[in-house]
Chain A
Amino acid sequence: MTENRQIVFNNVSKFYGEVLGVNRVSFTLDSGITSLVGPNGSGKTTLMNLLTGLIKPTQGSIQVFGLTPDDPVHFYRQVGYCTQFDSFPPGVTGYNFICWPLRLHGFPADQAAKLTAEALDRAGMAQVANRKIAGYSKGMRQRIRLAQAIAHRPSVLVLDEPLNGLDPMARAESIALFEALAKQGMHVIISSHILEEVDRISDRVVLMSSGYVVAEGQIREVRREVREHPMQVLVRCSNAARLASAAFELDHVVEAKILTDGQSVLVRTRDVEQFYLLLNKIVATGVVDIDTVAPADDDVNSIYQYLIGSDGSPT
C-alpha cells in the first residue's frame, strides 16, 4: 500500500455566520510549492486556517496525508504554520519562542535545543535569538515565526504572506529557503501578493476570488485553460514582417504585431501548439531565422489579471 502524501480539500465550505469564507473548495496538492493568489478577502487565509485546523469547515473535509486536526498528536507533527498574526507571548525571547513548542512536541531538552539552533540558523536569526521578540523589527518577527514553523521539520509548511515586511535580501533568502524545502519533498503552501515572486517559485497556483477557487494547477496549464484570452507569444527573428504575414494565414491567430525594434513579433493565438508547429515549418524552410520564442503572458500576473481582474473581482 502506498503512503498517502497528498493534501486533499473535499468540497470544503466555511461560513462565518452568514458571511462566506470559502465555498465548495475541492483540490489536491502534491509536494512542491503551491501559491494561493487572490485579492484581500478572497479566502486565502481562511483556506490556510482550515488546512491547519485553526478553524473548522462548515461542510466538507480536509486531510493532510490522511490525517485531520482531530488527531492533533500526529497531525501537527506533519504541519508547520507561519500565520499572519504579528503577536507573540509577552516577554518571550526568540530562542524560547521556538524551543518551548518543541518541548510540547515531546522532544527532550537537548534535541529541542539542537532543533531550535538549526531553525534559527536557517531563518538567519541565530545572532538575535536571545533578545526579546518585543525588540525585533517587523522583518525579524516575520523570520522568527518562520523559524518556529520549520523547527520541528514538518512535511507541510503553510506560510501566510511570508514575504511581508522583509527587506530584499531577507526576501531572497526566504525564497531560497522555500525552494530548498520544496526540493526536499516538502509541501510548501504560500499566500502572497507579490506576484512576480510567486511566479518565480511556484510549481502550481490556486487562484481565489470572493471565497471561490477560480483556477488551480500548474501555471501554464491554468493559462491554457483561459481560452477567452488568446495566448501571447513573443518571437524575435530576422524577418518580422514575413513571420507576421505567415502567422496571419492561420485561423487561430487573432493578432500579429510587429514591435518597434522591427525584429520582434507579438502574436496572440487561440492555439499555441499550432502556432509552434508553424514556427517549426518556417525554420525548416530557412526563410526566417528565429532567435527566441517566449510566451508573453503565461505568468501568474497575467492569469490574475485575466481571471480576477485588477479590481479583485472575477472577470
Chain B
Amino acid sequence: MSTSTYLAQAQKNLKEQPWSLYAGQIGVLVRNEVGRNLFSRRRVWVYFLAFIPIVFLLIRNIVSRGQFDGSVQDQTEALAVLIQLYYVRIGIFFACMGIFTWLFRGEVVQRTLHYQFLVPVRREVLVIGKFLAGCIVSIVLFEIAVLAAFYLFYARYGAAGRSYMFEGPGLSELGSYLLVTALACLGYGAVFLALSLLFKNPIVPGAILLGWEAISPIFPSWAQHLSVTFYLKHLCPTTLASTGFMALFTVVPEPVSPFLSIFGLCCLALAVLVLSCYLIRRLEITYTAE
C-alpha cells in the first residue's frame, strides 16, 4: 500500500469515527470517576497531603499574629521551598500515585474492571476519560492548596503583602506556581497511570520513580529530560540552588524556555498516555492471576 493510499485510508477512518459518542462517553466517565475520587472516604489521605501544610501555615499565622518573622522576600523563598520541595516532589507525587494507579489497578483489585470492558467504549476512551478525571481531582485539590498557601504567606503582611501581590511580582509568581502544579499533576498522573498498567504492584516502580526524580539532577542533561521535575523547575519563578553533598554532583543543564518546558512535559505525558492506550488494549480480565 502506498503512503498516499495509507494516508487516505487513515483520513477516512478518522472521519468515520463517532467522535461525539466518544466525547459523551468521556463526559460520563469523568463525572463518575471524579465523584468516586473527590468525594470518597478512601481519598481522605489525598486531602491530607494537599492541605497539611495549609493547616500548619494557618496555625503559624494564628500563633504569631502581628509578629513577622522575616521580610516579604523571605516568604517568597519559603513559598518556593514549600511548592518545589514539598508539593512537587512529595505531595503531588504521592497523591498522583494514589489517584492514578488506582484508576485501573483499583478496578482490578475490586474485580470491577470487566463492567467497563463490557460496554461499547473504546479502551483508549476509557484511558482518556479516567486520566482526565484524575487530573481534575488532583489539579483542583492542589491548586486550592497552592492558592491557600499563597494567601497565608502574604496576607499577614497587610499592605506590604497586598502591594507585593498586586503591584509586584506576586500574581505572576502565583500564575507560575498554579501552572507548575497543574503540569506536575499531568506529568505524574500520566506516568503513574502507565505504571499501573505495566506492573501488578506499581508501588515499587513508584518508589524507583521517586528516587529518579530526586537524583536526576546529577545525570547528564539528556537524561534529565526524562524526569517530570526537569521541566517544572524551569517554570518556577524562584530557583532553589542545590545544597550540600548533592551540589557537588549536580549537572546544570542549559536553560529551557517556558514554552519548551510546557511543550516538553505535555509531549512526555502524551507519549506515556499513548503507551497506556497500547497497554490497556492488551489487558485481559484474569482477576485470579492478579
Contacts and interface: CB of A to CB of B under 8 A. Distances in A.
Contact of A83 (B21, B25, B114, B286): B114
A286 interface: no
Contacts of B130: none
B289 A73 contact: no
Interface string A79-95: 11101010111100000
Interface in B231-287: 282, 284-287
Interface stretch (A98-106, A249-257, A268-276, A303-311): A98-106
A74 B285 contact: no
A100 B120 CA distance: 12
A75 interface: yes
A77 interface: yes
Contact of A85 (B21, B114, B282): B114
Contact of A72 (B36, B112, B120, B284): B120
B121 A16 contact: no
Given A85-B114, A89-B115, A74 B120 contact: yes
Contacts of B116: 104
B117 A54 contact: yes
B110 A89 contact: yes
Interface residues of A, number: 29
B211 interface: no
Nearest to B28: A103
A79 B118 CA distance: 8
A242 B123 CA distance: 70
B206 to A, nearest CB: 23
A49 interface: yes
Contacts of A81: 114, 118
B214 to A, nearest CB: 35
B232 to A, nearest CB: 34
A178 interface: no
A53 interface: yes
The number of chain B residues touching the other chain, given as a range, is 20 to 34
Interface string A32-62: 0000000000000000010011111000000
B32 interface: yes
B28 A87 contact: no
A59 to B, nearest CB: 15
Interface in A89-126: 89-90, 100-101, 103-106
Interface string A135-162: 0000000000000100000000000000
Contacts of B32: 100
B237 to A, nearest CB: 42
B144 to A, nearest CB: 24
Main secondary structure of the interface of B (DSSP, over half): helix
Interface centre among B18, B116, B122, B285 (most CB of A within 10 A): B285
B24 A106 contact: yes
Interface in B99-138: 110-112, 114-123
A16 B29 CA distance: 31
A77 B115 contact: no
Contact of B120 (A85, A87, A89, A104): A104
| Majority SS at the chain A contact face | mixed
A104 B32 CA distance: 11
Interface in B1-55: 18, 21, 24-25, 28-29, 32, 36
Given A89-B115, A100-B28, A72 B121 contact: yes
Contact of A104 (B119, B284, B289): B119
Contacts of A100: 28, 32
Given A72-B120, A73-B120, A90 B110 contact: yes
A49 B18 CA distance: 27
Contacts of B117: 53-54
B112 A56 contact: no
A90 B121 CA distance: 21
A212 interface: no
A76 interface: yes
Contacts of B112: 87-89
Contacts of B284: 54-56
A53 to B, nearest CB: 7
A106 B25 contact: yes
Interface string A167-190: 000000000000000000000000
A160 B21 CA distance: 30
B114 A105 contact: no
Contacts of B122: 72-73
Nearest to A85: B111
Given A55-B284, A72-B122, A104-B28, A16 B289 contact: yes
A36 B228 CA distance: 52
Given A54-B285, A72-B122, 10 more contacts: A72-B120, A72-B123, A76-B118, A76-B119, A83-B114, A89-B36, A89-B112, A104-B120, A106-B21, A148-B115
Interface of B: 18, 21, 24-25, 28-29, 32, 36, 110-112, 114-123, 282, 284-287, 289
6 contacts: A55-B284, A72-B122, A75-B120, A83-B114, A85-B114, A104-B25
Task: Identify the 3 closest CB pairs spanning chains A and B, nearest first.
Answer: A87-B111, A54-B285, A76-B120
